[in-house]
Structure 1
Amino acid sequence: MINHISELFGRQINSLELSPTIKQNAMVTFRPAIIITKGKIRCARCHAKLKPVEARLPYHHYYCYVCIQMGRMDTRHSLATFPEPNKFPVIESPMSWRGQLTDLQQQCANQIVKIFEKRQRHLLWAVTGAGKTEMLFPAISWAVSQGLRIGIASPRVDVCIELFPRIQSAFKKVSSILLHGKTKQHYQYSQITICTTHQLLRFYHAFDVMVIDEVDVFPFSGNDMLHYAVQNAIKPGGGILYLTATPDDVLMHKIKRKEISVSYLPIRYHGHLLPTVKIVKNQHLKRLVDQGRLPKSILQMINRLVKQKQRFLLFVPRIRDLTLVSSALEKANINCTYLTVYSADPQRLEKVTAMRSQAVDFLITTTILERGVTFPGIDVMVLKADDEVFSASALVQIAGRVGRNSARPTGQVILYCETKSKTIKSCDRQIKEMNRRAREIK
């Protein structure tokens, strides 16, 4: 139940969640949650067109089955909102981060400030490990000093969880909040909001400037509802910065049509090139994995890395492969400690923490850890890299887990496959192309 009016600033909330006092506030506006015009039904929150047969309730009512995971909306409900007042304290020198950007990072950071100032729509195409988060700091600092409200969103919970403490630490004087489906923190009106893109469905014309990180990744890429959520959450005429290392076809099309501007950062913060991939073909790899076995060469590589205390991630395409690969390791009697992890794993966050604290030698993982999570000094192996699950962008992101730390800016990226697929060739080509661009500016 919302009892304080600030919890409604710039949000769109089911009127049933408001206290009687809030409902009586003259500044609170209400609009139908489900809009019916000329026989067509649309959800006001997520903008989905609803099929009457699927949305029908008794007594001629309808509900939205598309965004129901965010709370039910039906024709008996209203969406309540309060215009964003930007009611924040004046903070002198809001940035507490005292780090140093490289010359190239500083150039990008200056550009982001200008994008925010002019409220533009812009894509920063930066390689994995370029230090995108730190490059945001000057622009966030400027926005806070102007009394603006800032939103930072990503499709992945893991990305948000890793990003939040870094933003908190860099802006200790500024109110901030982390929102995602698993958070237990009670909502509070804050100047900086870090959230999953799904959480943007709860906002309405709230943010003056927004950053959308990992824009090419599921579930944001190609999702009309989440793209609408972004446009609805930003104030009309607000500025949006898109961040990615692997832009999808939609972004490339927008760039070509000059709907958004673009800038590039092809080199990591430490100045080293991206680790290139090593492609290793193994006949009958899929059949062996399906039998709970692994080729001798792969087992030898795993054993070698464990003995060298070289920590790594072992990627597999499907959840069922986690058990199969675990069975193969047990049969091989390799003396190692590891965990398996996937998107719906209830202990996913704890397992990532175990890897980060070096409590295990390695993780066997699906693509859930392809991006947004950093483990310093690791190597990477991908089993069945030619599987259709692995897109070229996914393989680029997986390779990008390696060499992110200046203490160990290199490392191994091994793609095990039966055939050198188009996606593997594309991954190899993209990394080499970014390295070529990087050499030109070094």
Structure 2
Amino acid sequence: MAIVDYYGRLVLVNRHQPRPAGVTVLPTIDVGVKNIQCYRCGQVTPKTVAALPNGEFYCPHCINLGRVSTLCKFYHVPEANQFTVTEPVLTWHGKLSPLQSQAAVTVASRMTAHRKQLLWAVTGAGKTEMIFPGIAQALARGERLAVASPRVDVCLELYPRLRAAFANTEMALLHGRAERPYHYAQLTVCTTHQLLRFYHAFDNLIIDEVDAFPYAANPLLFFASQQAVKESGGQLFLTATPGAHLLKAVRRHQLAVAYLPLRYHGHLLPSIHCHLVPRWRQQLLHHQLPSGLIRTMQVALRSGHRFLLFVPHVRDLAGIAQACCSYFPAHLFTTVHASDPQRLVKVQGMRDHQYQFLITTSILERGVTFPEIDVLVLGADDQVFSTAALVQIAGRAGRSASRPEGHVDFWISSYCRRVNQAVHQIAYMNTKGRRCQGAVPAV
């Protein structure tokens, strides 16, 4: 490996491997009386669980990135920021709305000061474009940056957009299925798991979809995001649905926050309408659906409005599809879920208007945009749907300027905290949005 490949990294090697010149050796595991602690992921494990033969130990928590053990060591070189900046740094020629520009200026200023901050932007607000000015200024200063996301598909969607926006900057894409090996780059796009390989590398770290699984409430990945940043570095969290941890940090003034409560077209988020259907699962046993759901689907189909029908579990798909075949025999639809081998084909078919609706699990809660659709959720009170998931699901509607209102309807067996919080979170952002509407003309 070249010396630059060790910059800001924890490179796992056998403890007997000779040390290259200029490389620092760091320990892998702290062995205590009863527990061991991994220096890569920070997790503590009882020695009885972590034991290897001959008094050696390993970390079971981050083993998917290569086994960290007392048989190994880390090679590391402090980040040197050896980059050549080529102008123009920003090669994106789009235009931000007034509200987007205002948020972008705030974000860029805080990135310059290396602060910890949250950009709370509603779904469909164009938050990726809003971070372009801040990234451009940081790259021009010669800083090293990373844009991380919990999900591979988000990284794959972000990478070409960032490549186009910063065409003159060396860039790397890192995830578990990446074909190209690691190389030193000024801007890195990666999954949050890949941050475990870095140590005080980045001057600014941006984490997109910070509320998404598996990052949310995962102490291992939170540790990784803290350790990957320089001690003087800044962090920017992007989300439409901040969790309790982030909101608590905002209230305690530990995290600066910028809001964008309106989408790019200047309209409010569609509100959630809830309908009580206590016996919908019993109805499904007889291949029937709630009458209110049927009427809503009929109205949408007559109006030419396509929609997504979300259901809690994969096992619900077949019964609901069978019922839909009898209710809507002349309409084209299909089911889709995470393990569906035709998942990508079906989603593309929806984009290409081959289907009038999709029946789906929460796999389509984020990362996909279908213009002018409505959103229906049957069993929205099921525990599988978190508050963040429900807000993201609702956010699939109204994303298009040609039909920004959309419709969002939840059918529930009973009211629950998660549903109520989703309703209130959208209402809260719409309250902020109404205050801003005078400043942003609707498209």
Quick check: TM above 0.5? yes
Which whole-Å CA distance do the structure 1 matches of 2:176 and 2:323 have between them?
A: 35
Query: Which is worse superposed, 373-382 or 266-275?
Result: 373-382
| Match in the other structure for 1:201 | 196
> Any idea what the Cα deviations from partners look like across 1:163-200, whole Å, max 9, x if unmatched?
22221221122222222223333322222111221111
Q: Secondary structure at the match of 1:62?
A: coil
1:220, distance to aligned residue in structure 2 (A): 1.4
Q: Distance in 1 between matches of 2:49 and 2:288?
A: 45
Aligned CA distance change for structure 1 residues 290 and 121 (closer, same or farther; 3 Å):
farther
Instruction: Provide the rounded CA distance (Å) in 2 between the counterparts of 1:426 and 1:85.
Output: 45
Q: Which stretch shifts more, 123-132 or 339-348?
A: 339-348
Q: What secondary structure is seen at the aligned counterpart in 1 of 2:264?
A: coil
Asked if 1:135 is matched to 2:130, the reply is yes
1:297 deviates by: 4.4
One-letter identity of the residue aligned with 1:209:
N
Residue 134 of structure 1 deviates from its aligned partner by 0.7
Which range is displaced more, 216-225 or 136-145? Answer: 216-225
* Aligned match of 2:10: 12
Match of 2:29 in 1: 34
218, 238, 241: which one aligns with 2:233: 238
The verdict on how the C-alpha distance between 1:432 and 1:331 changes in structure 2, with shifts beyond 3 A counting, is same
Tell me which residue corresponds to 2:173: 178
The CA distance in 1 between the partners of 2:420 and 2:297, in whole Å, is: 25
| Correspondence 1:14-413 to 2 at 5 A | 14-16=12-14, 24-289=19-284, 293-299=288-294, 301-302=296-297, 305=300, 309-332=304-327, 334-345=329-340, 348-413=343-408
Counterpart Cα distance in 2 of 1:111 and 1:286 = 48
Name which of structure 1's ranges 376-385 and 354-363 shifts more when overlaid on structure 2.
354-363
Select between 429-438 and 105-114 the one with higher mean Cα deviation: 429-438
Moved more, 66-75 or 133-142: 66-75
Distance 1:291 1:188 in 2: 58
Aligned partners of 2:368 and 2:10: how far apart in 1?
A: 31
DSSP-derived class of the 2:131 partner: helix
Give the drift of 1:75. 1.6
Name the amino acid aligned to 2:389.
A
1:434 Cα shift? 1.6
- Taking the aligned partners of 1:340 and 1:80, their CA distance within structure 2 comes to 48
What letter matches 2:41 in structure 1?
Answer: C
1:348: how far off?
A: 4.3
Q: Equivalents in 1 of 2:187, 2:354: separation in Å? A: 33
Give the match's secondary structure for 1:237.
strand
- In the alignment, the residues of structure 2 paired with residue 351 and residue 158 of structure 1 have an alpha-carbon distance, to the nearest angstrom, of 16
How far, CA to CA, are the matches of 1:179 and 1:75 in structure 2? 26
User: Within 2, Cα distance between the matches of 1:296 and 1:17?
Assistant: 67
Task: State the distance in 1 between where 2:339 and 2:45 align.
Answer: 28
| 1:340-398 alpha-carbon deviations (Å, 9 max, x no partner) | 44345555445444433444443332223222332222221111012122233221111
CA–CA separation in structure 1 for the residues paired with 2:160 and 2:85: 22
Structure 1 gaps of 5+ residues are none
The letter for the 1-side match of 2:116 is R
Whether the 8 Å contact between 1:294 and 1:328 is mirrored in structure 2 is yes
Aligned to 1:429: 424
RMSD: 2.4
Aligned residue type for 2:143: L
Q: In the TM superposition, what is the alpha-carbon distance from 1:413 to its structure 2 partner?
A: 1.0
Q: In the superposition, relative to structure 1, how do residues 249 and 308 fare at CA in structure 2: closer, same or farther (>3 Å)?
A: same
Gapped runs of 5+ residues in structure 2?
Answer: 438-443
Question: Matches of 1:413 and 1:438 in 2, distance apart?
Answer: 18
Q: Identity percentage over the alignment?
A: 44
Contact 1:31 1:78 in 2 (8 A): yes
CA distance in 1 between counterparts of 2:260 and 2:307 reads 26
Q: Is the CA contact (8 Å cut-off) linking 1:93 and 1:145 kept in structure 2?
A: no
Distance across 2 between alignment mates of 1:307 and 1:183? 45
Aligned-residue offset at 1:32: 2.6
Deviation at 1:142, TM superposition (A): 0.5
Give the drift of 1:290. Answer: 5.4
The 1:116/1:387 distance shift into structure 2, 3 A limit, reads same
Query: In structure 2, the residue corresponding to 1:15 is in which secondary structure?
Result: strand
Structure 2 distance, partners of 1:422, 1:40, is 38
Report the CA distance shift for 1:17/1:274 in structure 2 as closer, same or farther (over 3 A). Answer: farther
